[in-house]
Structure 1
Amino acid sequence: MEQKVASVARVVEGMHVTDGAGVRLNRIIGSYELGDIDPFVLLDEFRSDDPDDYIAGFPWHPHRGIETITYMVEGAFRHDDSKGGGGVLSTGECQWMTAGRGILHQEMPEMKEGHLWGYQLWLTLAKKDKFLPPRYQHLTDDRMPTVEQDGLTVKIIAGSYAGNPGPAETSYPIDYFDARLGPGGRFEHTVTEEQDKFLYVHSGAVVIDPDGEAVEVRKGHLAILGEGVDVVITGKEEGSGFLFLAGVPHREPIVKGGPFVMNTQEEIQQAFEDYRRGTLF
């Protein structure tokens, strides 16, 4: 039986916000327009040549109930946390932090000028895993495989593309790729029926399901994919690129409270109380 090619269910544009100590961001998931795509509860893009947009960084703050994944396309940030994890996150690198039961950390720019471009993604942990011990993974650029085909380059952060697994040790099966399309490039990937999947176009424009509905999605927009397990994407113009993500939803209540993501409002209140008392981490 022939498998169905995934179509576009919805296209959403990011929202400009300020977070941290004054960092200007493009909020793609976690806005009023798009609250979450279970299990993905936040996706921010920071991308600027103006130091005033990023120099204030993200000073010390807590997390509980999530994993935060920071992918640095260009530039450098320094990470420090209450468990002794830390280091400089440089161009092409990724940090995968499991907050679990609680952690305190900061992310500050390791540069005073130049182009800073990266992404922060939050994954909500399943109820049974909300209180896992905190963990930190620093994924250097040379550990993340790159698949190069005719007109296509795919960097694999997590999951597997064309039989090549990414280095991230994840709590759940997650696909996280950075794909770049040149002339004649064609991204083809098969997901499971259970996975929610989407892509965010960070450069140029792409065409989803080019042999069928052929929906064009341009830079700055996120496309949520609907039914169908085969994902087919081509470039609309030179230098197009996108992030592709897929994961199985937990189908549990998602309650957000600032830096905490839990299953009930009572758990959010308890997280704030634990932080106030110094017992969160």
Structure 2
Amino acid sequence: MHTSDGAGVRLNRIIAQPHLDHVDPFVLLDEFRSDNPDDFMAGFPWHPHRGIETITYVVYGAVEHEDSKGGGGVINDGDVQWMTAGSGILHQEMPQKRDGKVWGYQLWLNLAAKDKMVPARYQALDDEMIPVSEQEGLSVKVIAGAFGDATGPADTYYPIDYFDVRLGEGSRFAHRVDSGQEKAIYVHSGSVVVDPDGEAKVVEQGNFVILGEGNEIVISGHEADSGFLFLAGVPHREPIARGGPFVMNTRDEIHQAFEDYRSGKLY
């Protein structure tokens, strides 16, 4: 769903929209991708979060980050910023002008009720820290979780997989996930063939697919230079209450988050 957020950044909201509220434990996925600086230069000025982790992955471009806990820096090509909002944090993310282009993603990972008020923290995962598993015609960037001989550097509260997969026509991505995990892909380039229920299905660029039952995932490239994000995680199966930048379990907790923000207690 095409929308805008922050100070007017145009983006594609994949999760957290009328047709797809969440894929537990993932409660938001945005793609920001443009070669028009007017679409993104206004950025995301200072705003709060509580109850989630925000994961910003810049495929191309540069985004400057600063937060109320002293974290910050510039997120460049291939870098990831993994921010645990926990009990509360303020931050801003401001794109930098480079060739007039930017491409990246923000993923929100819901924290379980027992972890919603953990201390805030920041992980800067530079591109050179993030391993890439290379096989014939296949490249898997492992931000979190493990694939082949690569283990992602993210320190996570729960086992999750977050991969950026690139593959050529006919190349295969084969991966086994643990029982009970929710799993999905977002095709960001080209097209791929998914076999969720024994029937091959071509998925074109710009489509999001929740994968069905079963632990074995097999996805093939349908054309050259195809790619997708792969997400997998164990659902919390807890109530989800949203209020702008806050994700809690009850409306009372959302009201408290806003009150704490207004009174300066949130950060």
TM category, shorter: over 0.9
Check conservation: 1:210, 1:233, Cα contact below 8 A: no
Corresponding residue to 1:231 among 217, 224, 227? 217
Residues of 1 paired with 2:213 and 2:99: CA distance?
44
Corresponding residue to 1:129 among 106, 112, 115? 115
Check conservation: 2:7, 2:45, Cα contact below 8 A: yes
Corresponding residue to 1:120 among 106, 111, 114? 106
The amino acid across from 1:32 in the alignment is: P
Residue 152 in 1 paired to residue 138 in 2?
A: yes
Shift in Å, 1:211: 10
- TM-score scaled by structure 1? 0.93
Percentage of identical aligned residues = 67
Residues of 2 paired with 1:176 and 1:113: CA distance?
28
Q: Deviations over 1:139-181 (max 9, x none)?
A: 0111111111111110000000014210000111110000001
Residues of 1 paired with 2:193 and 2:136: CA distance?
17
Check conservation: 2:63, 2:94, Cα contact below 8 A: yes
User: What's the counterpart of residue 278 of structure 1?
Assistant: 264
Residues of 2 paired with 1:58 and 1:155: CA distance?
26
Residues of 2 paired with 1:173 and 1:111: CA distance?
35
User: What's the counterpart of residue 187 of structure 2?
Assistant: 201
User: What's the counterpart of residue 214 of structure 1?
Assistant: 200
Residues of 1 paired with 2:17 and 2:41: CA distance?
23
3-state DSSP of counterpart to 2:187: strand
- TM-score scaled by structure 2? 0.98
Q: Deviations over 1:12-49 (max 9, x none)?
A: xxx00000000000000000010000110000000000
Residues of 1 paired with 2:92 and 2:38: CA distance?
18
3-state DSSP of counterpart to 1:128: helix
Residues of 2 paired with 1:183 and 1:18: CA distance?
34
User: What's the counterpart of residue 232 of structure 2?
Assistant: 246
Runs of 4+ in 1 over 3 A off after TM superposition: none
Q: Deviations over 1:86-124 (max 9, x none)?
A: 000000000000000000000001226521000000011
Residue 256 in 1 paired to residue 242 in 2?
A: yes
Describe how 1:80-99 pairs up with structure 2 within 5 A: 80-99=66-85
3-state DSSP of counterpart to 2:23: coil
Unmatched 5+ stretches in structure 2: none
Residues of 2 paired with 1:103 and 1:52: CA distance?
28
3-state DSSP of counterpart to 1:142: helix
Check conservation: 1:55, 1:112, Cα contact below 8 A: no
Residues of 1 paired with 2:249 and 2:201: CA distance?
35
Q: Which has the higher relative contact order, 1 or 2, with Cα contacts under 8 A spaced 6 or more apart? A: 1
Check conservation: 1:186, 1:234, Cα contact below 8 A: yes
Residues of 1 paired with 2:99 and 2:124: CA distance?
24
Shift in Å, 1:130: 0.4
Residue 27 in 1 paired to residue 13 in 2?
A: yes
Check conservation: 2:197, 2:212, Cα contact below 8 A: no
The amino acid across from 2:192 in the alignment is: V
Residues of 2 paired with 1:270 and 1:70: CA distance?
26
Residues of 2 paired with 1:211 and 1:149: CA distance?
26
Unmatched 5+ stretches in structure 1: 1-14
Corresponding residue to 1:111 among 81, 97, 102? 97
Check conservation: 1:150, 1:184, Cα contact below 8 A: no
